[in-house]
Amino acid sequence: MKQENILKNSTKFFILKVKKDLVLEIFGNKKSIKIESGQKLKDIFNKKNYKNLKKAKKQNRKTFNIKWKKRKYEIYFEKNIFYFYDITLYCKVQSKLEKSLKELRSKKEELQAVFDLAANGISILDRNGMFLYANKFFQNMMEYSMEELYKESCISLSSPEYSAPSQTAVEKAIQYGSIEKFKKICITKSGQRINASMSLSYLESRDEIVMITSDITEEIEYQDKLEKQIELEVSKRTEQYELLCHQSRLAAMGEMIDSIAHQWRQPLNSLGIIVQGLRHISSQKNIDNKLLEEIESDIMDKINYMSQTIDDFSTFFRINKNKEQFDILISIEDAIRLIQVQLNNHNIKIEIDKKNITNFEIYGFPNEFRQVILNLIHNAMMQIVSKNISNGKIKIDIRNINNNLEIDISDNGEGIEKKLMPKLFDPYFSTKEKGSGIGLYMSKVIIENHMNGILKVRNIKNGAKFTIMLAKE
């Protein structure tokens, strides 16, 4: 194609040959530029452009830009010829480019600020772990300047025992893309040891690793302190709990000795009478063998009863170390047997209502459970006695609800004052002159902490009702 043709078809480029203010010739795509020869420059361009054209010519500026018909042109002129280049697209692209560049620059500044303000060490490593960059925080933390860090690697800054694991961490980050919260000890320039947690992320396109380092020395020290504190607290509590257990058992023992005294009084009396009777028989000449046998069996009965009592009480004080399957009805009956004589003395009736339940098995500590029942019955008895109730009654109801066994122990001792309710299960809370106030506290600990059950209380018509709920496992 001839040069002229190229010009004719080009929409990007045209030439005007002028004489003074008049267009002599036009080269280029006339249709698109719509300029005729003979037109005055003044008429073709707007006032501003025309002025610029003139001014440029006058000042002999060889190139300048104008905006014309919504497009931008770069104009070059020589003698009386103006060359017009349409640079609209170029300008658009350039402005976009500039905008992107500006954004990029501000992003870089932003990133730099983030790096510098971060309260973590941020560094960039090559694939061997050598430092390529580190933010201020990291430099301060490790006490190295950037110039010094260029000669170091994340492996060389580790304490010796962590050199190999650090090497592996870098390799793993490259292999898997990242590794998180790798804990190690770093050594600062002055030789200080720092507990650090590192996260490494591999940037595949750059073959570099970003490493975030947090100093967790204080955290670890705090954790250690906390652990020690917890240990101390637990041991204090255990000590306190053991003391309470001990006190509670002592109190129970006192009650037991009371019971033994009561339970032995009658058989001892009987034995006394029998011994007196024996003296009378021995003064007779013919000793009746049959009578002697009867006396012997009578004595043996009393002695067996007394030794049974001692057995009952001694098993009561045995502590179960392990949980076991046991029958709560038997435990309740055992507890009643231990206190029966005292109940009789105070004319208090006790009854068990077990509905149609046949299975009373629970998984837990039978002796501790029996102690709870004894505590509750003993409290009910003391309440009835203190209120001088003549027809004292203690009722034990056992219910089976949704695989739970519920045991109510209710009395007719006029109940508990409302204001005392919130303190009832507190250790050392007692309204009795010589009460230790541990009974209910201990009972709650046993049922709720040792046997995962619930122990609660409420007042009923003439008295109080304690309820124990236990899951049949």
Ligand X SMILES: Nc1ncnc2c1ncn2[C@@H]1O[C@H](COP(=O)(O)OP(=O)(O)OP(=O)(O)O)[C@@H](O)[C@H]1O
Could you tell which of ligand X, Mg ion, none binds residue 52, using a CB distance below 5 to 8 A set by kind?
Answer: none
Q: Which span sits near ligand X by CB under 6 A: 8-16, 116-124, 329-337, 422-430?
A: 422-430
Helix axes 328-345, 289-316, angle to 10 degrees: 120
Q: Which span sits near ligand X by CB under 6 A: 36-44, 52-60, 332-340, 426-434?
A: 426-434
* Of residues 170 and 251, the one with the C-beta less far from Mg ion: 251
Binding mask 440-459 for ligand X (x = CB under 6 A): xx------------------
Cβ at position 424, least distance to ligand X in Å = 5
* Of residues 133 and 429, the one with the C-beta less far from ligand X: 429
Subset of 258-297 contacting ligand X (CB under 6 A): none
Binding mask 58-77 for ligand X (x = CB under 6 A): --------------------
Any contact of residue 439 with ligand X (CB under 6 A)? yes
Task: Name the phi and psi angles at 442, rounded to 5.
Answer: -60, -40
| Distance separating alpha carbons of residues 188 and 185, to the nearest angstrom | 10
Contacts of 460 (CB under 8 A, 6+ apart): 410, 415
Binding mask 245-264 for ligand X (x = CB under 6 A): ------x-------------
* Of residues 364 and 413, the one with the C-beta less far from ligand X: 413
Cβ at position 437, least distance to Mg ion in Å = 8
Cβ at position 357, least distance to Mg ion in Å = 28
Any contact of residue 392 with ligand X (CB under 6 A)? no
Is 394 in contact with 411 (CB distance < 8 Å)? yes
Cβ at position 288, least distance to Mg ion in Å = 51
Any contact of residue 413 with ligand X (CB under 6 A)? yes
* Of residues 115 and 441, the one with the C-beta less far from ligand X: 441
Could you tell which of ligand X, Mg ion, none binds residue 430, using a CB distance below 5 to 8 A set by kind?
Answer: ligand X
* Of residues 201 and 462, the one with the C-beta less far from ligand X: 462
* Of residues 39 and 247, the one with the C-beta less far from ligand X: 247
3-class secondary structure for the chain?
Answer: CCHHHHHHHCCCEEEEEEECCEEEEEECCHHHHCCCCCCEHHHHCCHHHHHHHHHHHHHCCCEEEEEECCEEEEEEEECCEEEEEECHHHHHHHHHHHHHHHHHHHHHHHHHHHHHHCCCEEEEECCCCEEEEECHHHHHHHCCCHHHHCCCECCCCECHHHHHHHHHHHHHHHHHCEEEEEEEEEECCCCCEEEEEEEEEEECCCCEEEEEEEECHHHHHHHHHHHHHHHHHHHHHHHHHHHHHHHHHHHHHHHHHHHHHHHHHHHHHHHHHHHHHHHHHHCCCCCCHHHHHHHHHHHHHHHHHHHHHHHHHHHHCCCCCCCEEEEHHHHHHHHHHHHHHHHHHCCCEEEEECCCCCCCEEEECHHHHHHHHHHHHHHHHHHHHHCCCCCCEEEEEEEEECCEEEEEEEECCCCCCHHHHHHCCCCCCCCCCCCCCCHHHHHHHHHHHHCCCEEEEEECCCCEEEEEEEECC
| Distance separating alpha carbons of residues 146 and 131, to the nearest angstrom | 9
Among 335, 380, 455, 468, the residue binding ligand X under the rule CB under 6 A is 380
* Of residues 212 and 377, the one with the C-beta less far from Mg ion: 377
* Of residues 184 and 378, the one with the C-beta less far from ligand X: 378
Q: Which long-range contacts (CB under 8 A, 24 or more apart) does 448-454 make?
A: 450/364, 450/365, 450/368, 451/362, 451/364, 451/365, 451/368, 451/369
Q: Which span sits near ligand X by CB under 6 A: 20-28, 223-231, 298-306, 430-438?
A: 430-438
* Of residues 123 and 383, the one with the C-beta less far from ligand X: 383
Positions that interact with Mg ion (CB under 5 A): 379, 439
Cβ at position 387, least distance to Mg ion in Å = 15
Cβ at position 454, least distance to Mg ion in Å = 19
Cβ at position 381, least distance to ligand X in Å = 9
Could you tell which of Mg ion, ligand X, none binds residue 386, using a CB distance below 5 to 8 A set by kind?
Answer: none
How many binding residues for ligand X (CB under 6 A)? 21
Among 158, 214, 309, 383, the residue binding ligand X under the rule CB under 6 A is 383
Any contact of residue 416 with ligand X (CB under 6 A)? yes
| Distance separating alpha carbons of residues 413 and 10, to the nearest angstrom | 115
Q: Which span sits near ligand X by CB under 6 A: 26-34, 168-176, 227-235, 431-439?
A: 431-439
Any contact of residue 436 with ligand X (CB under 6 A)? yes
Q: Which span sits near ligand X by CB under 6 A: 75-83, 217-225, 305-313, 374-382?
A: 374-382
Binding residues for ligand X, rule: CB under 6 A, are 251, 375, 379-380, 383, 411, 413, 416, 424, 429-432, 435-441, 464
